[in-house]
Amino acid sequence: MIESQIKTLQDQIDGLLVDRGRIIDNLLDLRLDAADRADFVGKIDEVLRDVPGLTVVESQWWTETLDELLDMAAKVPAAK
């Protein structure tokens, strides 16, 4: 379930900075697991294009992004 994956990612945030590569890997994992949810995949693609930084990203950005994805995942029904 996408929501539980996002909550796990939120729980893993520790410190002021997060490795940019790890964020991208996590987003790609979410994208793969949500392949049947076109709107959600589109949002993840948008986020992937906009990941800031060269090597690290501020935790606040990642937290806000995960909050937004969690809200969207809760609103988009999973395909049956």
pTM for the structure as a whole: 0.90
- Report CA 49 to chain centroid distance, whole Å: 12
> pLDDT tens digit string along 19-60?
999 999 999 999 999 999 999 999 999 999 999 999 999 999
- Identify the pLDDT of residue 75: 80
- Let me know if 17 is exposed, middle or buried by CB neighbors in 10 A (0-12, 13-18, 19+): middle
- Identify the pLDDT of residue 74: 85
